[in-house]
Amino acid sequence: MGCRLRVSVVGGGCSGLSYALAYTHDEQPDDVRFAQGALVVLVDRRSLRHLEGATLDYLSSQRGGFSLEAPKVRGRCGCGVSFVGAAA
């Protein structure tokens, strides 16, 4: 198996929750798998409700990296690192 990108929601930050992105070779039984071309993204079921409808993009600008926009987020902290949980 090739490397996959794991996207999850973890506790922490001034608003209560933060996104975590990590490369992994391991798929877990509760993972939901998304594939677009050669990219495979894994999301655990607990994080899925916060990420439903989210858009993941890669920016190659000077401040490049992954950009994640999740429409169900109720609010963000001032620094933009953490967020308030998904609206029901």
Token pair 């609206």 is found at 87
Structure tokens of 12? 């922490």
Residue with tokens 């994080």: 47
Distance CA 73, CA 88 (A): 10
List the helix and strand counts (H, then E) for the chain: 1, 8
Where do the domains of the chain lie, and which CATH numbers do they carry?
4-86 (2.60.300.12)
pLDDT digits (tens, 9 = 90+) for 10-60: 887 776 788 888 999 999 999 999 998 888 999 999 999 888 888 888 888
How far, rounded to the nearest angstrom, does the alpha carbon of residue 76 sit from its chain's CA centroid? 15
Q: Is the pTM of this model over 0.75?
A: yes
